[in-house]
Structure 1
Amino acid sequence: MASAGKTLQFTKGSKKTGNRGNIKKMTLTAMLAAIAVILMYMEIPVPFMPGFIKLDISDLPALFGSFIYGPLCGVFICLVKNVLHSFATNTMFVGEISNFILGCAFVIPAGLIYKKKSDKKGAVIASVTGTVAMSLLSIVSNYFFVYPIYYNFMPKDVILKAYQAIFPGVHSILQALVVFNVPFTMLKGLISVVIAWLLYLPLAPMMRIED
C-alpha cells in the first residue's frame, strides 16, 4: 500500500508539473506573438529600395519561439501577428498572407534543424537554411501572388519604374525581385537571426519547460 501511495503521489506531481509547463509555454508564446504584432507595425524605409517596401523584424519572436518550443510555435506566432495586423491594413490580406508564408518558410526549417542538432553548428545551419528558404520563396510569392494582385492598384510599369529609378539595369519584375527583394529578404532574416541569438543565450534557460 505504501508503495502504491508513493506511485500515485509521483503521478499527481508529474501531472501538475506538466500542467505548469503547458501554461508557461502558452503564456510565453502569447507574449512572443504580442511582441511580433508590435514589431510588425514598427516598419522603416530601406535605402536603395522602392518606397513601398519597408523593413520590420517581426519574424524575430517567431524564430525565437521556434528555437525554444519547436517550429509549430513559430508558425502559430506568424499566424497570430498577421491575422491581427490584417485588421489595420487595406491590402486585402495579400501582404499578410505573403508575410505568413515567408515567415513559415523561415521558422519551420530553422526550428526543425535546430531541434535535431541543438548546438552552435546546428544553430548556424538552421539559421542560414531558414533565411535562404525565405529569400528564395519570396521570388515565387511576390511574382505569382503578391504583385499580380497589386497590379490592380498600381500598374505593373509603375512598379517596375520604381525599381529602375534605383537601378536602371532591371528590365522586368522578375529581375527586380532577384536583384532587390532577395538580398532585402536575406538581410531581414539575418538581422532577426543575429538579434535572436543575442537574446537566446540569456533568455532561453528561463523560458524552457522543465521535464
Structure 2
Amino acid sequence: MKIKTKQLTQMAVLAAMSILLVYLIHLPIIPAAPFLEYDPADIPILIGTFMFGPLGGLILTGVVCALQGITVSSSSGIIGVLMHFFATGSFVLVAGMIYKKNRTRKGAVIGLALGAVTMTITMVIWNLVFTPIFMGIPIDAVIPMILPMIVPFNLIKTGVNSVVTFMVYKSVGKVLGMEIKEVKLADK
C-alpha cells in the first residue's frame, strides 16, 4: 500500500480524532464491570477503513493503539494496547474487506455488522487470555464474566460505533477531502 502525503495527512487527522474521542468520552456501561468502558475511538478508525481499505484501517488501528497506549490510556499498559489492537483490528479487517468488495450502503451495513460480531467473538478469546494477567485473577473468575458482561459490552460498543460510523462516514470523508464513493447496483 503506497501512502501519499494527502492520505498520510488524512490518516493523521483520523488518528487525532480517535485519541481526542477516547479522551473526552469514556464511560462504563455495565455496572458490574466498570473496567469495561465505552469509547467512540473506533469511529474515526472505521471511517479510515472505508476510505483507505482494510490494510489502511489496520495501519491506522496500530498507530492509534500505540498513541493511546502512551497517552490517554497509559494505565492499561501493553495489555491495553494489545487488547485494543486485537479488538479494533479484527473489526476493521472484516468490515474493510466486505466494504472493499461491495462499496454500497448495504455493503457498509453488512461489513459493520459482521465486523461487530467478529470483534465480540475475538474479545471473548482475548479476555480469557489477558484478563487473568491484567487483573491478577484466575481464568475461572473470567469465564463467568463472558455472557453477562464481556459479550454484551462488546455488542453495545460495536453496535453504537457501527451506527454512528454508518451515519457519518460519507460526510467525514468529504470534510477530509476524500469522497467515499459507492458503487450503485441495479435493484434486483
Query: What is the alpha-carbon distance in structure 2 between the residues aligned to residue 137 and residue 64 of structure 1?
Result: 21
User: Which residue is 1:192 aligned to?
Assistant: 161
Query: What is the alpha-carbon distance in structure 2 between the residues aligned to residue 53 and residue 103 of structure 1?
Result: 15
**Structure 1 residues 129-138 or 37-46, which shifts more?**
37-46
Query: What is the alpha-carbon distance in structure 1 between the residues aligned to residue 110 and residue 180 of structure 2?
Result: 24
Please state if 1:103 is matched with 2:88. yes
User: Which residue is 2:76 aligned to?
Assistant: 91
Shift of 1:81: 1.5
Shift of 1:97: 0.7
Q: 2:131 aligns with which of 147, 153, 167?
A: 147
Q: How many residues align?
A: 175
Shift of 1:209: 8.4
Compared CA separation, residues 195 and 209, structure 1 to 2 (3 A): closer
Query: Can you give the 5+ residue segments of structure 2 that lack an aligned partner in the other structure?
Result: 182-188
Compared CA separation, residues 209 and 185, structure 1 to 2 (3 A): closer
User: Which residue is 1:30 aligned to?
Assistant: 12
CA deviations on 1:66-115 (whole Å, 9 max, x unpaired) are: 01110122112211121112224233310111111110100111011001
In the alignment, residue 137 of structure 1 is paired with which amino acid? T
User: Which residue is 2:185 aligned to?
Assistant: none
User: Which residue is 2:22 aligned to?
Assistant: 40
Query: What is the alpha-carbon distance in structure 1 between the residues aligned to residue 47 and residue 96 of structure 2?
Result: 9
Compared CA separation, residues 202 and 92, structure 1 to 2 (3 A): closer
Query: Can you give the 5+ residue segments of structure 1 that lack an aligned partner in the other structure?
Result: 1-18, 158-170
TM-score after normalising by structure 1 = 0.75
In the alignment, residue 124 of structure 2 is paired with which amino acid? I
Residue pair 2:170, 2:179 contacting (<8 A) in 1 also: no
Instruction: Tell me the SS of whatever aligns to 1:118.
Output: coil
In the alignment, residue 160 of structure 2 is paired with which amino acid? I
In the alignment, residue 164 of structure 2 is paired with which amino acid? I
Instruction: Tell me the SS of whatever aligns to 1:65.
Output: helix
Query: What is the alpha-carbon distance in structure 2 between the residues aligned to residue 133 and residue 110 of structure 1?
Result: 9
In the alignment, residue 122 of structure 2 is paired with which amino acid? L
Compared CA separation, residues 123 and 94, structure 1 to 2 (3 A): same
User: Which residue is 2:112 aligned to?
Assistant: 127
CA deviations on 1:124-153 (whole Å, 9 max, x unpaired) are: 111111000000010100101x2121243x
Q: How does 1:159-174 map to 2 (within 5 A)?
A: 172-174=141-143
Give the fraction of aligned pairs with identical amino acids, expressed as a percent: 29
Q: 1:58 aligns with which of 29, 32, 41?
A: 41
Instruction: Tell me the SS of whatever aligns to 1:124.
Output: helix
Query: What is the alpha-carbon distance in structure 1 between the residues aligned to residue 35 and residue 117 of structure 2?
Result: 23
Instruction: Determine which structure has more spread, i.e. the larger CA radius of gyration.
Output: 1
Q: 2:59 aligns with which of 76, 80, 85?
A: 76
